[in-house]
Structure 1
Amino acid sequence: MNKVSRILEYDKMKKQLIEFASSSLGKQRVKELLPLFDFESIKEAQARTQEGAKVIRLKGQAPLGGLRDIRESLKRAKIGGLLSEHELLDISSTIYSSRRFKRFVETLVEEGVDIKILPELVKDIVLLAELEKDINQAIDENGGVLDSASPALRSIRQQIRSYESGIRSKLESITRSSSGRKMLSDAIITIRNDRYVIPVKAEYRGHFGGMVHDQSASGATLFVEPESVVQMNNQLRESRMKEDQEIQRILHVLSGQVSLEVDALTMNVSVMTEVDFMFAKALYSHSIKAIEPKLNTEGFIKMDKARHPLIPEDEIVPIDIELGGEFSSLVITGPNTGGKTVTLKTVGLLTLMVQSGLHIPCEEGSEAAIFQKIFADIGDEQSIEQSLSTFSSHMTNIVNIMEEVDFQSLVLFDELGAGTDPTEGAALAISILDRVYSVGAKVIATTHYSELKGYAYNREGVKNASVEFDVDTLRPTYRLLIGVPGRSNAFAISRRLGLSDQIIDEAKNHITADSNKMENMISSLEDSRKLAEKEMEEAERLRKEAEQIHHELAQEMEKLEEEKQKVLQSAENKAADSIKKAKEEADQIIEELREIQKNNPAVKDHELIDAKKRLEMAEPSLTAQKKKSVPVKHKPDVDKLMPGDEVKVISFDQKGHIVDKVNDKEYYVQLGMMKMKVRKEDLLYINRPKAVETKPLATVRGREAHVKTELDLRGERYENAMLEVEKYLDDAVLAGYHQVSIIHGKGTGALRKGVQELLKNHRNVQETRLGTQGEGGSGVTVVLLK
């Protein structure tokens, strides 16, 4: 596997990946990365990369800073070793990194982000907040032990500062004095052997007493500790020794605290290493615009617009590769430098990446197979030490492959059979391909031999392919063409370079008729393919234009519908105002009639009621044209749409009705003012109008009176209620109803009694009864009409 990884540049890909790890732990995890061969393990690894990619897509990054490799420190702490300040700082930083990332994941879950792997991972992280706090209170960010680490250390350091201040004051008095300046080489205070000294001219050595700790290179200056500060320097030195002892005691205490949490810290490091590795894969996926492929164990490969991750994006030409479906062997022919080897390496490397849990740079919908063995014979493997020729080296490699290949293998051959006599080489190549095919392995092979161009036409499960070459520019396009073998192009290239037609024609005479026939066939295939591609591009352009027109038309119809609703609403508002005025005038007329009745008893109540009724019937009836969500239902008893059926056109989200049938698949539909031809699958059946025989409705001033099957009197005054019942019964009879309900409520029973008395004597009432439990009980009277 190591040889195949090197040939397919797997390690170079890992060097790209390692740059996205945040810590040395993550980088080490990338270095250890190897392809997996268990399907479920690969699925899990892919799922981890996908979840990391989702978080990156939503949040831009993950908080992984501060993670340190503290494993060696933990081992020493476990056996009672003393940890340094910087080691303790690394432990604190790792605790903080773990705690912050765990909180980050919990926040994602609270926000409703659909993640499953990360919450399970961070469940094992232990929040060692107390240990983190103790370390941070004792050690500063630069690794120095703070005064606050212990009361004893604070007291000792206060003494040290006091001694230093006294010594400096004593020595400064010497350097500032006129006699002192004369005897000193420079008026400064310096330190030698951790003791404060002054630079004295050699001739004044005995003036200050004390000890000489150093001298200048010339010997003219001696660094003297004056006798007056010797005692204080001794005291300062003793205090510093006490400081070192106290610092060691503090580090020992903190190391002991760490030793108690070694298991929890080890778990945190393990989890965060996996997290760092997971996000390194996700960030790498984002950088190369990769996707999660669909996986299978059937050996089926379908990589759309596949790109080699090591080739710069502005240089790579994406390829479409398929293998393992209709054919399990692919033979690629074409000129040198045309991209055949890149195709092999792309398929091989992307397969290794998939089995390593990495996403691959392809289009969505790509599919990758999981192989148990991957073999590659690519490039010049000549061994000078073994004095092997190119052919011998390749054949040695192929012999090893033939011994191990099986039905779960992917085999990649570059220039199969090259390096020997063309006839024998082609024959060997065919036999090798037949052997690999017979064991069920998937194979991609490149070759120069023209004999192999016809190989795919004579073998089931084998397909020809080529790398396109532009004769006009004399350059390869690097596009892989499956189904079309490569042409020689030698004559065309020679003619473009200026070789005479006479020489080229003579050369053609040396080519066999079969070879000419093959070249002509290939040329015809290429022309047909180019024409098909051109027509497909034109069809795609027209499809996009049609979609755009469709979208614009739908928007226009929606705009027209909105304008229509605005106009209708405006008209209804005006009509409502007119109705309000009419009612006010009607009420005023009734009041006037009652005044007349008071003065003229000849005017009867039933005449007043009749007048009121006529006024109300004269009221205009409004039907609001508002959009309502109509439930669209398919009725199983309606097999065929018929003219008049109400339908919904799905693509326009508009309702209309069937005008006529074009054929079994299309209908003419009326949408407002437009009549359109619509395909049956774009229609949803809503309703089929039924002819209902009804009695003619009473009309007043040309408008129909719409009557409900129930009258609600709750809240009405007794007198008004009686008038309402009289009017309602007349309207219900005119509407052709046989049964209606009058809702009077329970209350005191006065309204119910009055209603029932009125109904008992009404000319159009056949029978009455109180409502049942499901009809409203004694609060409702059900009326049967004549």
Structure 2
Amino acid sequence: MHMKILKTLEFNKILAQLEEFASSVLGVEKIQNLVPSSSLDEVKEMQNETDEAAHVLRLKGHAPLSGIHNIKPHVKRAEIGGILNSVELMQTASTIYAGRSMKRFIEGLLENEVDIPILEDKASQIVVLMDLEKQIKNAIDESGEILDSASEALRSIRQQARRSEGKIREKLEGLIRNRNAQKMLSDAIITIRNERYVIPVKQEYRAHYGGIVHDQSSSGQTLFIEPQAIVDLNNALRELQLKEKQEIDRILAELSANVAESAADLNHLVGVLTELDFIFAKARFGKEMNATKPKINDEGIVRLLKARHPLLPIDEAIANDITLGEEYTTMVITGPNTGGKTITLKTVGLLTIMGQAGLQIPAAEGSEIAVFKEVFADIGDEQSIEQSLSTFSSHMVNIVDILKKVDHESLVLFDELGAGTDPQEGAALAISILDEVYQRGAHVVATTHYPELKAYGYNRPGVINASVEFDVETLRPTYKLLIGIPGRSNAFEISKRLGLSETVISSARSMIDTESNEVENMIASLEKSRREAEQEYKEAHDYLINSEKLLQDIQKQMIEFYERKQKMYDDAEAKAAKVIEKAKAEAEEVMAELRQMRLEGGTLVKEHELIEARRKLDEALPKLDKGVDPSKEKKQKREFQPGDEVTVTTFGQKGHLVEKIGADEWQVQIGIMKMKVREKNLVFIKAEEKKETKPLATIKGRDYHVKLELDLRGERYEDALLKVEKYIDDALLANYPRVSIIHGKGTGALRTGVTEFLKHHRSVKRIRLGEAGEGGSGVTVVEFK
């Protein structure tokens, strides 16, 4: 994909934001080289790896990626025999530790059965170099200083050096505490010059201390002298310091050689950690944007749901639904300037290349993008001073270049197509260019303010008009995309709102031809219809949500009721059985005693009388009906039919089948409630009884079916009141205690009329507006006396 296009769509700004989420310089370098892929498999793989990392962040909130360094130059120098310094070795150990931590982190997730196959594969490639890490950390601390524990020889040398240094300080402190020192010394301090301990002596007293002069002050009045008394001690200390350096060099050389031995593993480790840092940076970036993983296809289908421009603040960006590639492959967005057309255009292009680069996109779940081989864009005012080109000429240079390369695997974005020249010629050129690109099979989104292109979408298949909504009341664009509706200029409405005389506006209207007026009126009508449809859809959707919630609550309560009922039944049965068993045991004892008495005393109680008494006692045991057991029912020999009476085994209730709604599922009417029930939980009782057809004049009785609600939405006022009157009579005949009348919210006129009628009806006990779960103020609930 051409780098100029990526810059035009501001992909470079996306990468700059993405860099902030990288944990290492290696990750930043990887991000800087990121470009979109045109391979479907590669794009899917990149999206999957980002999604896995996002899943890990949702579970754990982080990933241990700190401490990664670019140690490849260090490793290379060690390989050719170079000696690494302590900081470079410490960075090597830190990187080894980061790899070990990341491997342990991912393995912990796998133990908890988290499905992350891509990250699992990355972790399996991490080589754990524990011995090398331990060797380095035993010799060097985190700040890069060589530890005494690096070797026994180094510990011994440093111990001797500290003792020698102590002796030197002791002698020098004796000198500066001498009673003449205040007179002979510039300051009573011990300092270091040329790595040897010295004291500051005034010029005139240099002979008193003897020794070696190592430095003097800028004025020459103070000499930094190494007194003769400590020259030998300083020499001994210097020898120890040289030995220390030699031992440190030996230790660094040994550690560097160990690094060289593991060069291949270290280079591979850096590569894997770079990939992991890059993957988690993409996931953290997506989390910051509230982004989601899009579905990927190679069929040219773009379906962006609630899509936002990623470079705009989340609380300011307007979310739009944008679709392309199914019913139409070309979208022409018309309307006035500053309305948001260009932002919409850039959103489509930028989200497409972000998706093809493996980044999640700021859109709702279920969004989908296509993988295009090329994305072309001609956006913005690109006057070329160097080439002495006008705006129009600059645009045409871009368009000519696009037309040379565009094909059926391309996405083309045109901003203000045909602008910068005579309107009539510009519109004709725009139509011709769109036709050419469409015929090549490319997917196109174009913006224009030419009115001639408003009819373009109606005259050609596969093309649709769109516009960006403008609020005439506030004189501001809403930035909301309206697909299927061409844009209006709104010039007359805006002028009127701003105070332009009605006379001037009327005169201007008269100058517009009838055809243009008809188009504008058609657009206005479409906009009005769309707003009304959206409002009605919202009300219907809210009503559906509330109904489903109410149904779920009722079903839950029914299940709890029957479970509680069964438990109480079981408890009562068990209690009764226990009482009878106790009585039976007592009776057995009595019978045993009677037999004994008969044997001993010759009582007249006969054996068959005892057996009969025991039989009667057995029959006294409770035999409770526990409801229908589906496993014991005979196999159904007939297929269910709507209207059949059945038993719902899960509830132990009888109902009637309304209709079949799936392969093995029925809608069942139980009392006033309807619910979905699987066929395996239904037991047939009897078929629907065929009722004789009654004459039209027959009075409707209790068997006449009357709905529990009356829907008046869309009815005229007079017709609605007639229907209410008839419905109330029918409901009373059906002996309903309560019904609902749906009149909608609207202007409130229909609700007022219905309320007034019901207030004066002799059979109405009470009326009220519906609650939140009943439809709110759009419904009136009526209770009868």
Taking structure 2 as the reference length, the TM-score comes to 0.83
Q: Work out whether 1:322 is the aligned partner of 2:323.
A: yes
Q: Give the RMSD, CA atoms, in angstroms.
A: 2.4
Aligned equivalent of 1:456? 457
1:611 is aligned to 613
Q: 1:530 to 1:632 in 2, by over 3 A?
A: farther
Q: CA deviation at 1:396?
A: 0.6
AA at the equivalent of 1:155: S
Q: Could you say what secondary structure the match of 1:455 adopts?
A: helix
- Displacement of 1:223 after TM fit? 1.3
Q: 2:655 — aligned with what?
A: 658
Paired position in structure 2 for 1:6: 7
Displacement of 1:464 in angstroms is 0.3
Distance 1:647 1:350 in 2: 51
Distance 1:677 1:234, change over 3 A: closer
- 1:399 equivalenced with 2:400 (yes/no): yes
Q: Give the match's secondary structure for 1:547.
A: helix
CA contact (8 A) 1:329 1:443 kept: yes
1:308 to 2:309 alignment: yes
Question: Which residue number corresponds to residue 774 of structure 2?
Answer: none
CA contact (8 A) 1:66 1:94 kept: yes
CA offset digits 1:62-97 (Å, max 9, x no partner) = 111111110111111111111010000000000000
Q: C-alpha distance in 2, partners of 1:633/1:351?
A: 60
Equivalent residue number for residue 199 of structure 1: 200
2:589 is aligned to 588
Moved more, 140-149 or 468-477: 140-149
Inter-partner Cα distance in structure 1 for 2:56 and 2:83: 40
Deviation at 1:633, TM superposition (A): 12
Structure 2 equivalent of residue 737 of structure 1:
none
1:17 aligns with 2:18: yes
Cα distance in 1 for partners of 2:330, 2:238 equals 83
Assess, with a 3 A threshold, how the Cα gap between structure 1 residues 158 and 632 changes in structure 2: closer, same or farther.
farther
2:142 aligned with 1:141, yes or no? yes
Secondary structure of 1:228 counterpart: helix
1:28 aligned partner: 29
Structure-2 residue corresponding to 1:113: 114
Counterpart of 1:230 in structure 2: which amino acid?
A: V
Indicate conservation of the 8 Å contact 1:209/1:227, yes or no: yes
AA partner of residue 62 (structure 1): A
Structure 1: distance between partners of 2:58 and 2:578: 56
CA gap of 1:160–1:668, structure 2 versus 1, over 3 A, is closer
Give, in whole Å, the separation in 1 of the partners of 2:138 and 2:666. 81
Inter-CA distance 679–669: structure 2 relative to 1 (3 Å threshold)? closer
Q: Matched residues in 1 for 2:63 and 2:130: separation?
A: 21
Secondary structure at the residue paired with 2:291? Answer: coil
Q: Following the alignment from structure 2 to structure 1, what is the Cα–Cα distance between the partners of residues 362 and 500?
A: 43
Question: Which one-letter code corresponds to 1:656 in the other structure?
Answer: Q
- The residue identity in structure 1 corresponding to 2:684 is R
Distance of 1:130 and 1:388 partners within structure 2: 66
Q: Look up the equivalent residue of 2:275 and give its one-letter code.
A: E
Taking the TM superposition and a 5 Å limit, the aligned residue runs for 1:111-190 are 111-190=112-191
Task: Flag the 1:607–1:92 CA change in 2: closer, same or farther, 3 A.
Answer: same
Comparing 95-104 and 194-203, the one that deviates more: 194-203
Partner of 1:686: 682
Q: How does 1:306-385 map to 2 (within 5 A)?
A: 306-385=307-386
The unaligned stretches of length 5 or more in structure 1 are: 692-786
The match for 2:286 is 285
The answer as to whether partners of 1:647 and 1:684 remain within 8 angstroms in 2 is: no
How far apart are the structure 1 equivalents of 2:34 and 2:3? 12
Q: 1:582 Cα deviation (Å)? A: 1.3
- AA paired with 2:683? N
- Aligned equivalents of 1:376 and 1:146: distance in 2? 60
Report the Cα offset of residue 596 of structure 1: 2.0
Q: Give 1:662 deviation, angstroms.
A: 5.6
Asked whether the 8 Å contact 1:633–1:685 carries over to 2, the reply is no
Q: Deviations over 1:555-576 (max 9, x none)?
A: 3324433542454355335423
Decide which structure has the larger Cα Rg and report it: 1
- Counterpart in the other structure of 1:552: 553
CA contact (8 A) 2:18 2:285 kept: yes
Q: What amino acid maps onto 2:489 in structure 1?
A: S
- Secondary structure in 2 aligned to 1:488? coil
- 1:519 is matched with 520
- 1:620 is displaced (CA, Å) by 3.2
Between stretches 589-598 and 612-621, larger displacement belongs to 612-621
- Alignment partners' CA distance in 1, 2:529 and 2:179: 107
CA gap of 1:663–1:222, structure 2 versus 1, over 3 A, is: closer
Distance 1:631 1:607 in 2: 38
Give the distance between the partners of 2:16 and 2:40, measured in 1 at CA: 25
Partners of 1:621 and 1:527 in 2: how far apart?
69
Aligned partner of 1:209 in structure 2 is: 210
Question: Relative to structure 1, is the Cα distance of residues 158 and 667 closer, same or farther in structure 2, using a 3 angstrom cutoff?
Answer: closer
How far 1:469 sits from its partner (Å)?
Answer: 0.2
Amino acid at match of 1:77: A
Q: Distance in 1 between matches of 2:178 and 2:581?
A: 111
1:442-467 superposed Cα distances (whole Å, 9 cap, x missing partner)? 00000010000011111111000000
How far residue 638 of structure 1 moved from its aligned partner, in angstroms, is: 2.0
Residue 676 (structure 1) aligned with residue 672 (structure 2)? yes
Aligned residue runs from structure 1 range 259-274, under 5 A: 259-274=260-275
Change (3 A) 1:679 1:574: closer
2:36 alignment partner AA: P
What percentage of residue pairs aligned between the two structures are identical?
Answer: 54
Which amino acid in the other structure matches residue 41 of structure 2?
Answer: E
Distance 2:624 2:532 in 1: 63
* Contact 1:465-1:480 at 8 Å conserved across structures: yes
* CA deviation after TM superposition for structure 1 residue 688, in Å: 3.2
Following the alignment from structure 2 to structure 1, what is the Cα–Cα distance between the partners of residues 509 and 635? 70
Distance 2:446 2:642 in 1: 57
Return the offset for 1:316.
0.5
Aligned twin of 2:78: 77
1:353 Cα deviation after fit: 0.4
Counterparts of 2:249 and 2:637, CA distance in 1:
87
CA distance in 2, matches of 1:580, 1:423: 104
Give the SS at the match of 2:180.
helix
Gaps in structure 2 of 5+ consecutive residues = 688-785
* Distance change >3 Å, CA 205–CA 663, structure 1 → 2: closer
Q: Partners of 1:116 and 1:286 in 2: how far apart?
A: 21
* Deviation sequence 1:273-326 (CA, Å, 0-9, x none): 000000001111111111111111111111010011100011100111011110
After superposition, the Cα gap between the structure-2 partners of 1:273 and 1:680, relative to the gap in structure 1 and judged at 3 Å, is closer
Please state how far the C-alpha of 1:512 moved relative to its aligned partner: 1.0
Partner secondary structure for residue 178 of structure 1: coil
**Paired residue type of 2:4:** K
Q: In 1, distance between residues paired with 2:255 and 2:489?
A: 77
Aligned counterparts of 1:557 and 1:441: Cα–Cα separation in 2: 57
Deviations 1:561-615 (A, max 9, x none): 3542454355335423421331132122212222222125565544433332232
- Residue identity in the other structure for 1:345: K
- Spell out, residue by residue over 1:25-64, the C-alpha distance to the aligned partner (whole angstroms, 9 max, x if none): 1111000000101111111111100111110111111111
**Preserved contact between residue 49 and residue 279 of structure 1 (Cα < 8 Å):** yes
Which residue of 2 is the match for residue 508 of structure 1?
A: 509
- Specify whether residues 690 and 639 from structure 1 end up closer, same or farther in structure 2 by C-alpha distance, changes over 3 A only: closer
Post-superposition CA distance 1:78-133 (Å, at most 9, x none): 11111010000000000000011001111111111111111111111111000000
**Structure 1 contact 632–685 (Cα < 8 Å) conserved:** no
Task: Show CA shifts across 1:391-416 (max 9, x none).
Answer: 00000100000111101000000000
Q: Distance in 2 between matches of 1:43 and 1:252?
A: 47
